Chains A and B, each alone.
Chain A
Amino acid sequence: MRSYECNRAANSSEVECLPTPRVVVIGLASCFGCQLQITNMEQHLMDVVGQFELVYWQLASSEPMPQEYDVAVIEGAVTTLESMETVRQLRQKAKTIITIGACANTAGIPGIAAAGFNGHSSEVYSQGVPNACGQVIAPRSVGSVIQVDYQVPCCPIDFYDFSAVLSRALYGSNRTVPNRTMCGDCKRNETQCFFEKGELCLGLVTKGGCGARCPKLGRPCFGCAGLSKDANLDAARDSVARYGIEVAEFESRLQLFNQTNEALCEGAKGEYHA
């Protein structure tokens, strides 16, 4: 496996090591909950952070943003021209981009504002959006602005998913990122299907791999991991109807985390709004 300088102590000094990767963590429009998920895992935090050199993370240190770095971890949706530029710069400088959380991956909760965006700000701000907000644009995922190398899904992320993706980014992995949808995961948990109880659940179109945690705890899926790129939306609508649930409810629930997904032909990107 690849050896970095920071691993050197663990190996013989003859092993050729790569320089320790420098990591920056950036928060855009988000609740910062995904970043907190990383810091919350106290018992493993030093293990994880020990594998790289953390050169910028507002949540953890007051060091300013450096000029050079190797990996950028991005949380949050792109909601202003300024953050769009930030994200483009990160792509230019970093060899590896990791997006964490639904906001960064699917536009998440901020994405709910995307449809009909142009009308929103005058409803909220009678005198136009305050300058302090920057130049707001319709919210969008980081992946719609730049090429993303790795994603940690869900809202919020699971610490162990983050750790696995980090390992993947640092050491490489040929494990396929699953594209299946979630119902099989619920069955493996032996969770009763919500549809059998006449309740809507988005698991049948949502990317699997999160372990179907919410259904296991009694809450149907709201799609925070994002639509599977192989999701069969037409068949899903038929399935929903087959269980006596209104398809309109299905469409409506998708708006929560997946509004800007192109497969839904919804969530207009909107225009720049002063």
Chain B
Amino acid sequence: MLYRVIDASEIPLLVNAFMESYEVVAPVETDQGVNFEVIDSPDEMKLDYISTVVSPKKYFLPPKEELFRFDAQANEVLPTCVEFPKRVIFGMHSCDINAMNRLDLVFKDCERPDPYYVGRREATLIVGVSCMPGENCFCRLWGADEARYGYDLFLTDIGGKYLVSMSSVEAANILERSCNPRVATDEERQAFRNQTRRRQQSFNADIPEIQEVALLMDAFHKDPFWEELGGRCLGCTACSAVCPSCFCFDIVDEMDPDGRCGSRVRLQDSCCSPDFAVVAGGHNFRPDGRTRVRHRMYHKLNGFLMTHDRMLCVGCGRCVTACKADINPIRVLEFFERKGLDNDE
């Protein structure tokens, strides 16, 4: 991996250089919390944030997107032009970068790539930034606290300076043009090591570290815990809305008011929506909170692991804040922790 060092004071220069040819989005503190937004100046950025309310997945899988236009009376697709704005996401954490890598496995590196997702992915540069964990962060448990690939630049804060990992030629060119990247000194390399150790030791020790989560989920598939956890689900889909790796969607036709033309649109959906698993004829394969929440936890902590060899959950902790019914993977880990203690007695 190619890496250099720049001063923290050079960050605005880098951002301005990106702004010359890209739309730059970055974490911004608003009255609604910290969220990714388009910025007009580097001063608006808040790079030292713990988490955003909603993940940057919205730039790749928007809550609503038009797939194509159609003429319903003639029953045909109309010429449609889909735009993919050139964009830089500046300040993405490792958890979110890892979530994007998982989404790539479903939408890009697969048998039937999704051209809308691929178009956005190809038009977007990602500049990652290091972080310190909050009390709800458990990315470390799934190896999502490091971004091994999936970014164009990654900035690790080493105190007044940044160690920059350079991954793409395009981003490296912009970096070299706008800043003065230099080879790291021994001190700077040591500062990086100190930073990683500090971060490692800052994770919330109360979140249990459990081995064999996937197999434990199979073993306790019928445990009454799932009624206790899922029974309080409000069916609000907030968890999926904020989650960086949730990708379920619905496809619907929306007619124009004149009843002639319309759009086929894709909408974000969630397996926790009460009617998600309804089939033609009305039967619902997951009719209650217990089965739906269990299914979602399965997909995050077991199913995806079996099919793609990595956890779909990246431990970002957003659902811990977003769920008003206190349902999240930490509660599942605590359940397994309790199960372990019971057996010891």
A160 at the interface (CB under 8 A from B): yes
Chain A residue at minimum C-beta to C-beta distance from B251: A175
B255 at the interface (CB under 8 A from A): yes
Render A155-187 as a binary contact track against B, CB cut-off 8 A, 1 for contact: 000001001101100110101101111111111
Which residues of chain A from 208 to 240 have any CB-CB distance to chain B below 8 Å in the complex?
208, 228, 230-232, 234-236, 238-239
Render B238-258 as a binary contact track against A, CB cut-off 8 A, 1 for contact: 111110000000101111111
In the bound complex, what is the Cα–Cα distance between A232 and B232 (angstroms)?
Answer: 7
B32 at the interface (CB under 8 A from A): yes
Render B259-277 as a binary contact track against A, CB cut-off 8 A, 1 for contact: 1101000001010111100
With A11-B73, A192-B33, A239-B325 as given contacts, are A181 and B258 in contact (CB-CB < 8 Å)? no
A242 at the interface (CB under 8 A from B): yes
Chain A residues lying within 8 Å of B254, measured Cβ to Cβ, are 164
B73 A187 Cβ-Cβ under 8 A: no
Which residues of chain B from 266 to 325 have any CB-CB distance to chain A below 8 Å in the complex?
268, 270, 272-275, 278, 289, 322, 324-325
In the bound complex, what is the Cα–Cα distance between A50 and B260 (angstroms)?
Answer: 11
B231 at the interface (CB under 8 A from A): yes
Chain B residues lying within 8 Å of A243, measured Cβ to Cβ, are 324
Chain B residues lying within 8 Å of A3, measured Cβ to Cβ, are 73
CB distance from A111 to the nearest CB of B (A): 23
Per a CB cutoff under 8 Å, which of A41, A167, A176, A184 touches B237? Answer: A184
Chain A residue at minimum C-beta to C-beta distance from B240: A184
A190 B322 Cβ-Cβ under 8 A: no
With A160-B257, A173-B253, A192-B32 as given contacts, are A232 and B273 in contact (CB-CB < 8 Å)? no
Per a CB cutoff under 8 Å, which of A171, A192, A193 touches B259? Answer: A171
In the bound complex, what is the Cα–Cα distance between A7 and B259 (angstroms)?
Answer: 9
In the bound complex, what is the Cα–Cα distance between A208 and B259 (angstroms)?
Answer: 24
A265 at the interface (CB under 8 A from B): no
A190 B53 Cβ-Cβ under 8 A: yes
B324 A192 Cβ-Cβ under 8 A: no
Chain B residues lying within 8 Å of A234, measured Cβ to Cβ, are 232
In the bound complex, what is the Cα–Cα distance between A224 and B274 (angstroms)?
Answer: 20
With A47-B256, A47-B257, A51-B258 as given contacts, are A191 and B32 in contact (CB-CB < 8 Å)? yes
* Chain B residues touching A, majority SS: loop
With A167-B259, A190-B35 as given contacts, are A235 and B234 in contact (CB-CB < 8 Å)? yes
Chain B residues lying within 8 Å of A232, measured Cβ to Cβ, are 232-235, 289, 325
Which residues of chain B from 176 to 197 have any CB-CB distance to chain A below 8 Å in the complex?
none
CB distance from A201 to the nearest CB of B (A): 10
Chain B residues lying within 8 Å of A163, measured Cβ to Cβ, are 255, 257
CB distance from A136 to the nearest CB of B (A): 37
A10 at the interface (CB under 8 A from B): yes
Chain B residues lying within 8 Å of A164, measured Cβ to Cβ, are 254-255
In the bound complex, what is the Cα–Cα distance between A186 and B32 (angstroms)?
Answer: 11
A150 at the interface (CB under 8 A from B): no
Render B100-117 as a binary contact track against A, CB cut-off 8 A, 1 for contact: 000000000000000000
Per a CB cutoff under 8 Å, which of A183, A228, A231, A235 touches B232? Answer: A235
Chain B residues lying within 8 Å of A242, measured Cβ to Cβ, are 324, 326
Name B's A-contacting residues (CB within 8 A).
31-33, 35, 53-54, 58, 63, 72-75, 231-242, 250, 252-260, 262, 268, 270, 272-275, 278, 289, 322, 324-326
Q: 26 A-B Cβ contacts within 8 A? A: A7-B259, A7-B260, A11-B73, A11-B74, A48-B257, A51-B258, A163-B255, A163-B257, A167-B255, A170-B259, A179-B273, A180-B235, A181-B235, A183-B234, A185-B241, A187-B53, A188-B268, A190-B54, A192-B32, A205-B234, A230-B275, A232-B233, A232-B325, A235-B231, A235-B233, A239-B234
Supplied contacts A7-B259, A183-B324, 20 more A-B pairs, CB within 8 Å: A1-B72, A7-B73, A47-B259, A48-B258, A160-B257, A176-B250, A176-B278, A187-B238, A187-B241, A187-B322, A188-B58, A188-B241, A203-B236, A204-B234, A208-B237, A230-B235, A230-B274, A234-B232, A235-B325, A243-B324
